[in-house]
């Protein structure tokens, strides 16, 4: 590891102090820290800032924040094949690998090469409107949803060229296995082990008794045509990027060509992580360990 990039959540009050300490620690060990312009300005050394193209020089990326920061980092560097180590400065931290108090011992392991890489399937989304195409990449999910005061949508769904159904609903989620623990879970979707190559279709508040989440193979393409004349409709990607949709727009979602590469230092399984993190998130009584009951 010769160059390590820092991608930080600037809304975290401690992030600039952590970034300064981290830069000094790396430089003492002969590692060049690469700092995006916004973070460099926040820590008082704007001359050190790099643009997005400078990230391509990194051997790995440290995301300083929470899951949202890691999602942002994945969209920035996945196509470059750069691995990401998530440092949790937030609360739940389902995707991040280490807590702040583990940072420097974990970095010692990283520099020794004592880690493994876990590939996570990403999603490629394309908005088609009047012959024009706009592309997005997501690690968690691609979501179509109505506005606060809009009427119910009608969402016509195809898997490849096979017609699935037209859902009367508040929206629809197409998630990756990684995203199965996010919005899709809240909407009643299944938990899916992250090494699987699948996509999950989850209707949001469908106005029908038979609509259920559906898991499809990762090599399929999911096409959703929006029927919502006069309604406010949004397309959101990982809950961070969004555009308005018009009646008749189509959103095509498929597996992205390159996965996100996450650095793993811990020996925790996905199943223990689900139990521990979802319990922290408020489901303490529904996810008890064997023997926890009174």
CATH number at residue 160: 2.60.200.30
- 200 and 115 in a common domain: no
- 72 and 181 in a common domain: no
Pairing mode, strands 214-217 and 49-50: unpaired
- 91 and 210 in a common domain: no
- 39 and 24 in a common domain: yes
Cα separation, 142 vs 245, whole angstroms: 13
Catalytic residues: 67
User: Tell me, what's the pLDDT at 148?
Assistant: 83
- 141 and 203 in a common domain: yes
- 90 and 17 in a common domain: yes
Cα separation, 50 vs 47, whole angstroms: 9
Domain assignment of residue 21, yes or no: yes
Domain assignment of residue 287, yes or no: no
The ranges of the chain with pLDDT < 70 are 280-294
User: Tell me, what's the pLDDT at 106?
Assistant: 95
User: Tell me, what's the pLDDT at 166?
Assistant: 97
Number of domains into which the chain is organized? 2
User: Tell me, what's the pLDDT at 1?
Assistant: 86
Which residues contact residue 34 at a Cβ distance below 8 angstroms, ignoring those fewer than 6 apart?
Answer: 3, 4, 5, 6, 50, 54, 55, 57, 58
The DSSP letter of residue 212 is -
Greatest Cα-to-Cα distance within the chain, rounded to the nearest angstrom: 62
- 268 and 169 in a common domain: no
- 79 and 171 in a common domain: no
The DSSP letter of residue 57 is G
Report the CATH number at residue 104: 3.40.50.10330
Structure tokens at 275: 């139990």
Cα separation, 281 vs 273, whole angstroms: 12
- Which among 205, 187, 249, 199 has a CA at the least distance from the CA of 224? 249
- 128 and 115 in a common domain: no
Structure pTM? Answer: 0.89
Phi, psi of 43 (to 5 degrees): -95, 5
User: Tell me, what's the pLDDT at 120?
Assistant: 98
Cα separation, 151 vs 248, whole angstroms: 16
- 249 and 193 in a common domain: yes
User: Tell me, what's the pLDDT at 284?
Assistant: 42
Q: Which domain holds residue 70?
A: 3-120+259-280
- 168 and 129 in a common domain: yes
User: Tell me, what's the pLDDT at 43?
Assistant: 82
User: Tell me, what's the pLDDT at 281?
Assistant: 60
Domain assignment of residue 292, yes or no: no
User: Tell me, what's the pLDDT at 275?
Assistant: 85
């Amino acid at each position: 590891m010769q160059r390590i990039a820092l991608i930080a959540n600037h809304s975290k009050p401690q992030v600039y102090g952590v970034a300064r300490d981290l830069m000094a620690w790396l430089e003492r060990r002969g590692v060049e820290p690469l700092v995006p312009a916004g973070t460099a300005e926040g820590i008082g050394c704007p001359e050190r800032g790099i643009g997005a193209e400078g990230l391509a020089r990194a051997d790995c990326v440290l995301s300083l924040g929470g899951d949202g920061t890691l999602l942002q980092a994945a969209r920035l560097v996945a196509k470059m094949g750069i691995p990401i180590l998530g440092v949790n400065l937030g609360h739940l931290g389902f995707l991040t690998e280490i807590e702040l108090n583990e940072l420097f011992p974990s970095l010692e392991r990283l520099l020794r090469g004592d880690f493994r890489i876990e590939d996570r399937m990403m999603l490629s989304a394309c908005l088609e409107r009047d012959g024009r195409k706009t592309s997005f990449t997501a690690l968690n999910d691609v979501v179509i949803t109505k506005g606060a005061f809009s009427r119910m949508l009608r969402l016509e769904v195809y898997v490849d060229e096979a017609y699935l159904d037209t859902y009367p609903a508040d929206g629809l989620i197409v998630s990756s296995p990684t995203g199965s623990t996010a919005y899709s879970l809240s909407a009643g979707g299944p938990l899916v082990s992250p090494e699987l190559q699948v996509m999950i279709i989850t209707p949001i508040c469908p106005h029908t008794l038979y609509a259920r989440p559906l898991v499809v193979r990762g090599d399929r393409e999911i096409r959703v045509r929006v029927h919502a004349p006069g309604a406010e409709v949004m397309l959101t990607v990982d809950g961070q990027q969004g555009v308005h949709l018009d009646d008749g727009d189509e959103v095509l979602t498929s597996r992205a060509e390159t996965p996100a590469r996450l650095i793993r230092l811990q020996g925790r399984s996905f199943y223990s992580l689900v139990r521990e993190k979802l319990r922290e998130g408020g489901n303490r009584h529904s996810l008890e360990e064997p023997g926890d009951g009174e």
